[in-house]
Structure 1
Amino acid sequence: MSVERLKRFQGCLVGVAVGDALGMPVEGMSREDIKRLYGVLREMVDGFRPAGNITDDTMQTLALAESIAELGEFNADDAIRRLLNWYRTDPFGIGIHTSRVMELIDRGVNWREAVERVERLYRPWTAGNGSLMRCSPIALRYCRDIVGLVEFSRASSLLTHANPLCQDACAFFNAVLARVLLGWDKKDAISFAMEVLAHASHEVIDRVQEAIHKSPDEVPTSGFVLDTLECAIWAWWQHDDFEEGLVAVVNLGGDTDTNAAVAGALLGAQYGLDAIPQRWREKVRWRDDTTVVDKCVNLATRLYELAMNE
């Protein structure tokens, strides 16, 4: 067992939860509002929920991770069953698009038909970041199987988001993430993803190429899937420290919880579990459940074992 690699896996899932919780209280605020209220927001504070609470970003990620860990592989029907169970808990923070799909499924519509119906009715307004936020467990499980990684990244998006941009964004992000988990440097990880996803939408490729050169004022922060992809790649590329990268994302404003959750996955994989501040890890919770970080660590360990034992 490579301790360093295991720490990368654990840092990835914990990074999702920590980013989600850090960004939760300022979701929807502009960077100017955040600056006026907090100066630079570096701590988990009260917001829509008490400080440290996670949102749908982490809950969906955990549902997918639990499905893969228990079955040993990605299974769409099992994953959607778990997402439906989560939806029935009246979840906090669920996005409009995901809610539309899950409502149909909850009413008895086959999940594939539900996804197609929502895509048909609301396109082009269907390219939100709701599938990108949860896709990292695919990279954890299939980091050594690039064919499976690309296929299942797209399939995991299709659970709720059929828009091709969402599928491409999940596949590209996970291609980068998989290489980072295996210890590749940043330049090689990006080059690898560019090569593997050369057939992806030119919009995805263009956004990533632009992201690594932008200044903070130029980084987009909306809930559009390519904005979140660009924001996460920018934070990872431009920062050599987990905390500084995540603080930078949150203080940009916009869809802060999701942008920070996605960036947190990549930063956590790059710098490992020990680079994530203990004061943040200790504060993360779901409602009164303080075991969120432990769940992330345990699931990441199980996915590591599955990936390495193939």
Structure 2
Amino acid sequence: MATNPRLSKTLGALLGVHTGDSLGATLEFLPWAHIKSLHPTGLREIVGGGPFSWPAGSATDDTDLTRAVLLAYSDRKKNQNQKKEKADHHEKGDEFDVARAAADYSVDWFTGKWPGREMGSEPVDIGGATSVGLLNYQSTGNPKTSGAGQGSAGNGSLMRCIPTALFTSTPEKRIEESMAISTFTHNDVRCTVSCAAYNEIVAALVDGKTVQEAVDMGKQIAEALDCPAVATAIERGEGMSIQRIASKGPGKELPDRTSGYVLQSLTVAVAALLDPRGFEDVLVDVVRIGGDTDTNGAISGGLLGARDGADAIPERWLRDLQFRSEFVNVAMQILEGPTVVQG
């Protein structure tokens, strides 16, 4: 799909989110023991179904909201091009607010202005904090104050945050934008810092750092932002075996039904990243653990795609993904030109 390693990792990260989401959607909410009885070696095909009767390859809220953030970065690139044209004519433009744009696209999704939806229709699946945050944003118009509040620490912003890692080139801007894009729904510090740390891991992988170097950079961000809970979640992932848990059961390491808690999803994703096996085997085992399978699949899939590149994702998985072509085309449009967007 892409011969350039950096481009391959960028596309792999985006498509990894979509793949993990679509694979995991079939088994969402099921516990490990039930999944084992249905699929003794794991679900290895994207078949749709699940509690919301998804078509095979359909985006759930995980991929849909990743798309919302991706489109915000696409708009920023267009805005930068327009500003350059204005500069050539001695005109000045305003700074583009990527968090507000992501919130606006998320409201489009929320209200049905979305591919495959009817205007006014409600999302098939939506997390509680996401719903509260988007309702607040519709009311106030302020993405800095619309979040669901401290104590609401679900994984609904971590699942959508990866475009920031891919299209913002400096650590300072990545941290700022990661936290701002989380804040309009998930402003609990565990969520905002998880997004910043996760995106620094992704950016390091895309830059060609080793897996351990990337994980260490994520921990450094959590520590620099004074959030020991996120640093501890990453460390837990370093000591966890996805393969063992998927084969033997969660035991005491994870509850039988993995929850939507942001730190748990971050731990699982780091453990998946550190698993030396290939993309397919690791992602199948992440989903085998059970519980919040689509979101854990999406978050882990993003890291695995950034690690292994797009060509590591099985073509039989890619071919049915709802937004495959759009994700590739939009990413290519953002990256075209001599430099990556710097914020």
What is the TM-score when the length of structure 2 is the normalising length? 0.82
2:238 & 2:279 partners in 1: Cα distance?
Answer: 17
| Residues 34-68 of structure 1: per-residue CA shift (max 9 Å, x gap) | 11122221111222212222201101101111111
SS of the aligned residue for 1:308 comes to coil
Residue 212 to residue 303, structure 1, CA distance change in 2 (3 Å): farther
Task: Indicate if the aligned counterparts of 2:145 and 2:184 stay in contact, CA closer than 8 A.
Answer: no
- Find out whether 1:222 has 2:259 as its counterpart: yes
1:138 & 1:71 partners in 2: Cα distance?
Answer: 12
* Aligned length in residues: 297
| Residues 249-278 of structure 1: per-residue CA shift (max 9 Å, x gap) | 100001000000011111011111110000
- Of residues 71-80 and 166-175 in structure 1, the stretch that sits farther from structure 2 once superposed is 71-80
Aligned to 2:102: 79
Deviation at 1:245, TM superposition (A): 1.3
- Find out whether 1:140 has 2:166 as its counterpart: yes
Aligned to 1:102: 134
Deviation at 1:198, TM superposition (A): 1.9
Task: Indicate if the aligned counterparts of 2:196 and 2:221 stay in contact, CA closer than 8 A.
Answer: no
Aligned to 1:168: 193
Task: Indicate if the aligned counterparts of 1:21 and 1:52 stay in contact, CA closer than 8 A.
Answer: yes
1:259 & 1:42 partners in 2: Cα distance?
Answer: 16
Higher helix content, 1 or 2: 1
1:240 & 1:103 partners in 2: Cα distance?
Answer: 42
Deviation at 1:302, TM superposition (A): 3.1
2:55 & 2:3 partners in 1: Cα distance?
Answer: 37
- Of residues 17-26 and 89-98 in structure 1, the stretch that sits farther from structure 2 once superposed is 89-98
Residue 105 to residue 154, structure 1, CA distance change in 2 (3 Å): closer
Q: Spell out the pairing of 1:55-94 with structure 2 (5 A cutoff).
A: 55-72=60-77, 75-89=98-112, 90-94=122-126
- Find out whether 1:300 has 2:302 as its counterpart: no
Aligned to 1:258: 295
Aligned to 2:37: 36
Deviation at 1:114, TM superposition (A): 6.0
Q: Spell out the pairing of 1:113-132 with structure 2 (5 A cutoff).
A: 115-116=146-147, 118-119=148-149, 123-124=150-151, 126-132=152-158
Gaps of at least 5 residues in structure 2 are: 78-95, 113-121
Residue 219 to residue 238, structure 1, CA distance change in 2 (3 Å): farther
2:161 & 2:144 partners in 1: Cα distance?
Answer: 21
Deviation at 1:109, TM superposition (A): 2.9
Deviation at 1:82, TM superposition (A): 1.0
